[in-house]
Amino acid sequence: MSIREIRNLCSAHIESIFSDLVDKGLANLKDKFFLDSKRRILYTSFRNLYPLMEFSTFLPESYFYYNSHLFAYAFFLDQSLDELRNYPSHQVKSFQISSYLLIRYFEWIKRKYRKEFISLFYKYYKEQSDYLIDEKKWEQPNNYFSLYGDAKKIYIKEILLFFPLELYKSMTTSSSYLLLKKLFTNYYSFILLFDDLIDWDDDIHNRRLSYPIIMYFKLNKKLPQTQEELKFILSHLIENLKEFYTNIRKIEKQIGRKSLIIQDTLYHMRKELSNRGIEL
């Protein structure tokens, strides 16, 4: 499939998810919040999930449709926990929607996959929930530091979104799965560290721990109060980004195929960093 065809398929899946939300009385597409949410979920799903379509011709369309529910769930959960604290009605609505989407996704797993995947999903869900709890413990950063204070663990911030790879594993060879897991671990790590760099002022303001903030804590034994304080660790973070980027390129060579979606995502993120005076 061409990139345009993949994007169109992703768009159709997100459209179907939102049509279902409207039918259930959970969303109103005349509300700007839901229009913006649909656009953002389309972007994150296409960027993070649909590159798998470039590597695997055997995955059924239903795999991408239902796993898009997982990405939509993660988005609305994030909205309900962080971004909408000043908009209580939308905050509660987002939590309601995230619960509905999680149930839909869980029902699909039960219907489609063996029983052991239920336990595996719970493991991923628990680890994701534990992270969301730990990142809010601003006054107690030591636990976050001990669990996530390593660049190699940045991907745990969105560990639940790796679960679709476990489903992929059940349909392919071990070597293919391991290479793709390494690729997506480095790819997600790059994206998440990029987001941490862009959002570190917001993270400080909302007292939310992140990798850059915990690196500052490691070096100074205290938490930063302004983004200016974080700038002296920027060179260290740039080296982390470079390492993730180099690893992505190496793993793509091992696979023998490149993802145009991944390439385009990295290009625009590097461009955004350059516009902010950060060169890789």
- Side chain identity, residue 49: L
Give pLDDT, residue 85: 64
Q: Is 142 exposed, middle or buried (0-12, 13-18, 19+ CB in 10 A)?
A: exposed
- Side chain identity, residue 143: N
pLDDT-above-70 percentage for the chain: 98
Collect the ranges in the chain with pLDDT lower than 50: none
d(CA 156, CA 187): 13
- Side chain identity, residue 43: Y
Q: Which two tokens stand for residue 79?
A: 């909205």
Whose CA is closest to 233, among 212, 208, 209?
212
Q: Report the predicted TM-score, pTM, of the whole model to 2 decimal places.
A: 0.94
Give pLDDT, residue 84: 58
Whose CA is closest to 202, among 105, 83, 110?
83
- The string of pLDDT tens digits covering residues 38-88 is 999 999 999 999 999 999 888 999 999 999 999 999 999 998 887 656 667
Q: Please state the domain extents for the chain.
A: 1-111, 113-280
Local structure of 227: helix, strand or coil = helix
Give pLDDT, residue 86: 62
Report long-range pairs for 160-164 (Cβ below 8 Å, ≥24 apart). 160/70, 160/74, 160/124, 160/125, 160/127, 160/128, 161/48, 161/49, 161/70, 161/71, 161/74, 161/188, 162/124, 162/188, 163/70, 163/120, 163/121, 163/124, 164/49, 164/52, 164/63, 164/67, 164/70
